[in-house]
Amino acid sequence: MADITIDLVTGLYREYRGDLEQVRQEQRRLRLTAPSMKAQLDDIEAEITYLLLRHTRPETVVEIGAYHGWSTTWILRALRDNGRGHLHSVDLIAASRRHVPSELTSRWSLTQDNARAVGGELLRRADYLFIDADHGRRFARWYVAHLLPELRAGVPVSVHDVFHRRRAKPFSEGSVVLRWLDEQRIPFFTAARRRAPRVQRELSAVKDALGLGEPVRVSPANPMIFFRMA
């Protein structure tokens, strides 16, 4: 897989436009039928996650931090549309079980535990890693030392809540991950409004041109970063 870039992402929006519109409608209906569900991903970062999963066609996806299941359902719809793959989610709470539609659960396993339950054997099989859990630097120091080194080269990784500002907050998960990426000379991609306003404007223009401009969730922050292991 090539580096994650604006050219790759805009191309994926065009390639999967029809499927993405269907998923956006499904996610919009899910919010209406599950009003207690807290939707944590903003639209563009959720859509990029879906598109990268469609593009890479993973067999094994690991999600650390399912919470109410909003990211979980985006991931599961991508696996459904691919016709392949299984999602292994880990979270201390099991609220996602109340919200993930039954028709998606055949490709899903949830372990109610902390991130240490994600063993090396599963990570070595992983084709995509999604992280949205504890945002403290202690947790980040642990997973850059113990989780990321288990991944194969080329595996895409998503980390949420990095860029709520132009720079990651000091002493945060984001600051640790960004330092590690710099040390490893691994580039990252983000559509965060504060960090990469030009990227967000360009993607918003592409979405408008494709008829995908109506929000599913009104929140423009999109603080997630995306990268692939070297």
Class of CATH domain 6-228 = alpha beta
Q: pLDDT tens track of the chain, all 230 residues?
A: 679 999 999 999 999 999 999 999 999 999 999 888 888 899 999 999 999 999 999 999 999 999 999 999 999 999 999 999 999 999 999 999 999 999 999 999 999 999 988 989 999 999 999 999 988 899 999 999 999 999 999 999 999 999 999 999 898 999 999 999 999 999 999 999 999 999 999 999 999 999 999 999 989 999 999 999 99
Place of tokens 């997973």: 143
- Report pLDDT for 39: 87
If one counts every other C-beta atom within 10 angstroms of the C-beta of residue 212, the result is 19
**How far apart are alpha carbons 105 and 19 in whole angstroms?**
19
- Report pLDDT for 35: 84
Per-residue pLDDT tens digits for 5-49: 999 999 999 999 999 999 999 999 999 998 888 888 999 999 999
**How far apart are alpha carbons 107 and 60 in whole angstroms?**
10
CA gyration radius, the chain:
16
**Domains in the chain: boundaries:** 6-228
- Report pLDDT for 105: 98
- Report pLDDT for 82: 98
If one counts every other C-beta atom within 10 angstroms of the C-beta of residue 223, the result is 23
Decide: helix, strand or coil at residue 135.
coil
- Report pLDDT for 1: 60
**How far apart are alpha carbons 56 and 67 in whole angstroms?**
25
- Report pLDDT for 112: 96
- Report pLDDT for 2: 75
Tell me how far CA of residue 205 lies from CA of 6, 46, 141, 198, in angstroms.
13, 17, 37, 11
Instruction: Output the six-digit token pair for 44.
Output: 């563009």
If one counts every other C-beta atom within 10 angstroms of the C-beta of residue 133, the result is 23
Supply the pTM of this predicted model: 0.96
Place of tokens 């209406």: 32
